[in-house]
Structure 1
Amino acid sequence: MPIPGLPANAVGSRVVEYGSPWQRSPPPHASSLLESATDGTLIRTEDEEVAPSESGRRRKKFKRLVRGFRRVFDPTSSKRLTQSSIHDPIHKPALRRQVKPEEWRAYGYWARPYIRGVGVVRNSSPRPVAHESELDPDDIFGDLWGRHGSPHPERWVPLSRHPFLPPRPDAFVLPDPASPTPTPRELQLNPYLEHQLLGMPSIVFDISMEPTAITFSATENLIPLMPGDLAQPATFPLVTRIVISAVADDTAHPWPWPITIYNSSGVKVEDVFDCIYENFRQFLTRDEYDRLSEKKRYLVQRVLQARCKPLSDSPYAPEYTDEGVRRHDYMLDRTLFRGLEPHPHEDDTWIMFVGSH
């Protein structure tokens, strides 16, 4: 049963049962697939073409009427139109299919299958392996338990294939080093990374806390992201490199701590979260701190003092101490990740949005 509040691409609690063939996620209906031009122009679906709305029919009728009046009062208009259509090239925008939520979810099922009695195993691998082949079910599942019934998910052979296991989604092919890398505007972001303009994002990711603390925002109870959620691709199509070169609304120009995320088999959601966290937990150098305005230094010091305050007044309580100002202290209270967008002035980088809790 689906958990209320989980986004449509969330993996949830679906498990692999030994002896039961894996049932694929329902494929998206061909007539409902939206395609988008690289400039964001939406192309109507087949259903919309077959059954246009009443307002759409009125607009078409009005346009035909206007064209008829033009031909009556300006006989040369049709000639000009014909000539212009011959001499002016038609630039059709390249189309790309929009990945559906169930396709992101299917990749998570394949990359980190959840096997009852054992837990999550790593089915994807950062590098090609020689044993990507059909294996006997006993060889696949039998080695996951020890002599006394203890689980051993570390024994899993990556890239294993079997009817009991989720298949690798066809849409997400490994990046081709010989092909040009798509620009951010040509990519579709994973829903976990999309910029949320209004309201709470679908996840709660405080960039000052380890990604293991990321939870869903709309569920009744605190539910962390599953390993299969974190293993989903960051983009479609897959890319090996993502660069975050700025933080929205920050006065620093250029942004002093750009984040480069690299994965030779394609950047995953987990890679993005890990690199963001590791970036912001670094300490400010003395020069970086001295370059801050007097007001900014005062505000940063207040954040640092609040973060390093002992959790108890008891003299026996260990006081939490730190070695200095970290980059997330510089962010003050704006440590809630709100997503990424293509950088408006740079073709190959992204801009990160943050907000307050």
Structure 2
Amino acid sequence: MFYEVIFYEVIFCETIFYEVIFYEVIFYEIIFCEIIFYEVIFYEIIFYEIIFYEVIFFEIIFCGVIFCEIIFYDIIFYEVIFYEIIFYEVMFYEVMFYEVMFYEVIFYEIIFYEVMFYEVMFYEVMFYEVIFYEIIFYEVIFYEIIFYEVIFYEVIFYDIIFYEIMFCEIIFYEIIFFEVIFFEVIFYEIMFYEIIFYEVIFYEVIFYEIIFNEVIFYEVIFYEVIFCETIFYEVIFYEVIFYEIIFCEIIFYEIIFCEIIFYEIIFFKVIFFEVMFYEIMFYEVIFCEVIFYEVIFYEVIFCEIIVYDVIFCEIIFYEVIFYEVILYKIIFCEIIFYEVIFYEVIFYKIIFYEVIF
């Protein structure tokens, strides 16, 4: 549930969110399934008022990042700007997501299957990259994908802030999203292979009908911000998925990885299907017999999910903890996620106390 779920040193490098909706927030029918940005082009990839300045998505490029067959079906990113978002090397170079970067973060075959970004804000919820209403990502960079002083300064998330959540020294310095492609997305020494966010909702930025195998985030809101019955067994997120979520169709959508750090966390071949997390590890972390070798998500199902040494100790994602896994100083300070705070980054009693990502 993440009901008192901590994410002590938890990561979330590459979670999918199959039909990530974000009902009010939405990622309604944003796909990124074969991520097109179907009715949103992003020629100068906009995202309807969204720019993605030099982002193409010609094979949806993002200048070398492809988002090869990235869709964003009815993805809007309505007022989501991605201010100087470029996705240079799909970086989101000055992809900022309003001065947010993603230096060399790519998103190769990132999907966001039926995820929207309705007001792509995640109506009063944010998610840095796309603003998500008042979300700033003040000086969030994702420089060496740092989130160098990446704050998500007044990044809200319905008075969700990420106030001094920084992801300021989040860092993703050394994290890096260096060659984070999101296809063989590395995150130089970190990955996120093909995270999807397939049918994930985020109701009031809930992840309302967000599943995560029938994980569910069906009422898995992240209201009680759950990952309720989020299994990651067959690490499916059946409806949501991480089904064949590899993090090939990895997203890094909402996953932040604040001072997560993913310092030496790699997510090397973190696929989430034969996902590794080299050093971190999600070795054979498939989330079906997902391991997180060294990390681990051994029988990390996310239902009696352990993540042996990673830990998601009592992390089930049902009374999931993420004991030492941490999300150290990610705050999402005053971040809510609809009553979900992330005060000390909560997710409604979810803490992420000294939570990093």
The structure with the largest helix share of the pair is 1
Q: TM-score range, shorter-chain basis? A: under 0.3
TM-score in terms of structure 1 length: 0.24
Higher relative contact order (CA 8 A, sep 6+): 2
Q: Who wins on radius of gyration, i.e. which is larger?
A: 1
TM-score in terms of structure 2 length: 0.24
